[in-house]
């Protein structure tokens, strides 16, 4: 119980952040999906802020099921190396079913906290991190998707929350964009390719356009700049 409590306390900043972003997701998803239950169910079973916002965007574009699945898989592939990094720090005796629960909480913020701890990481601590963060995400979604909550908010505020998705992507991309030639090329090529394919009536599903533009731009940037020089800022870690 002591380790669980420590994990929950360490995750309190994540709880607050997830509560606010989950609230925005709840409003956006409930508006597009005409349901308050489905967005909450999505957050209960699928803890991926970026992935869930992309899900709303792709469904809103009328993408096919195959395009939606491919888009979500592509967005969430980043969790694979993060999960590997955390798995190396878990206690060796942790059984598979407990590792699966830890894996469900494999989000950027939880992984960031986990990697700052001294290994081995024990299950009660990881469970505390996960449960506290999960409650913030699910609670925020449920509040945002609730019609009673939306009735209390001015319509202009609800409409303004529609910029949450592009704002979140901008917050992720811009810091690295300023420092990396590779990312500058990838962003520019992806934007131009996506615009061109949407402007020309090709008949291609919007979800496949987004996926193809992103993967193609990333591949081109990796080919042109296979390795960038170290920045030499003396800070540990990397992007």
Global model pTM greater than 0.75: no
For the chain, count helices (H), then strands (E): 14, 0
Q: CB count, 10 Å around CB of 171?
A: 9
Phi-psi region of 235 (alpha: psi -120 to 50; beta: other; left: phi over 0): beta
Which neighbouring-strand residues pair with 121?
90
Which neighbouring-strand residues pair with 90?
121
DSSP string, 14-65: HHHHHHHHHHHHHHHHHHHHT-SHHHHHHHHH---HHHHHHHHHHHHTT--H
Out of 73-87, 107-121, 145-159, which region has the weakest mean confidence (pLDDT)?
A: 145-159
3-class SS at 65? helix
Is the distance from CB of 89 to CB of 116 less than 8 angstroms?
no
pLDDT band for 153, please (50, 70, 90 cuts). Answer: confident
Residue 169 phi/psi, 5-degree rounding, is -65, -40
Q: Which residue has the higher pLDDT, 74 or 233?
A: 74
Asked whether the predicted pLDDT for residue 80 surpasses 90, the reply is: no
Q: Which residue has the higher pLDDT, 150 or 2?
A: 2
Asked whether the predicted pLDDT for residue 222 surpasses 70, the reply is: yes
Q: Residue 176: which of 163, 187, 165 has the closest Cα?
A: 187
Q: What was the pLDDT predicted at 94?
A: 93
Q: Read off the pLDDT of each residue in 73-80 and give the average, rounded to a whole number.
A: 81
Q: What was the pLDDT predicted at 6?
A: 94
Is the distance from CB of 58 to CB of 71 less than 8 angstroms?
yes
3-class SS at 8? helix
| CA 210/CA 189 separation, integer angstroms | 12
For 155-170, how does the pLDDT look when each residue is reduced to its tens digit (9 = 90+)? 777 666 656 555 655 6
For 8-67, how does the pLDDT look when each residue is reduced to its tens digit (9 = 90+)? 999 998 898 888 888 888 988 887 788 889 999 989 988 887 788 888 878 877 778 888
| CA 166/CA 37 separation, integer angstroms | 24
Q: Read off the pLDDT of each residue in 233-238 and give the average, rounded to a whole number.
A: 35
- Among 76-85, 114-123, 223-232, which range has the highest average pLDDT? 114-123
Q: What was the pLDDT predicted at 129?
A: 93
Q: What was the pLDDT predicted at 202?
A: 67
For 90-145, how does the pLDDT look when each residue is reduced to its tens digit (9 = 90+)? 999 999 999 999 998 888 888 888 988 888 999 999 999 999 999 999 999 999 99
Asked whether the predicted pLDDT for residue 175 surpasses 90, the reply is: no
Cβ neighbours for 143, distance < 8 A, ≥ 6 positions apart = 19, 22, 23, 26, 149
Q: Which residue has the higher pLDDT, 204 or 138?
A: 138
């Amino acid at each position: 119980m002591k380790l669980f409590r420590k994990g929950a306390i360490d995750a309190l900043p994540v709880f607050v952040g997830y509560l606010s972003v989950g609230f925005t997701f709840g409003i956006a998803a409930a508006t597009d999906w005409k349901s308050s239950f489905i967005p909450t169910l999505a957050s209960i079973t699928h803890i991926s802020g970026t992935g869930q916002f992309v899900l709303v965007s792709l469904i809103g574009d009328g993408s096919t099921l195959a395009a939606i699945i491919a888009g979500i898989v592509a967005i969430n592939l980043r969790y694979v190396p993060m999960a590997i990094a955390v798995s190396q720090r878990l206690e060796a005796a942790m059984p598979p079913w407990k590792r699966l629960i830890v894996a469900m909480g494999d989000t950027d913020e939880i992984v960031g906290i986990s990697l700052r701890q001294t290994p081995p990481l024990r299950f009660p601590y990881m469970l505390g991190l996960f449960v506290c963060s999960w409650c913030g995400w699910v609670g925020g979604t449920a509040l945002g998707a609730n019609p009673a909550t939306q009735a209390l908010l001015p319509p202009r505020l609800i409409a303004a929350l529609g910029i949450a998705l592009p704002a979140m992507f901008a917050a992720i991309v811009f810091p690295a964009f300023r420092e990396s030639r590779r990312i500058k090329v990838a962003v520019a090529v992806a934007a131009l390719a996506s615009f061109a394919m949407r402007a020309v009536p090709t008949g291609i599903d919007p979800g496949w356009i987004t996926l193809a533009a992103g993967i193609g731009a990333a591949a081109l940037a990796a080919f042109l700049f296979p390795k960038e020089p170290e920045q030499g800022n003396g800070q540990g870690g990397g992007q």
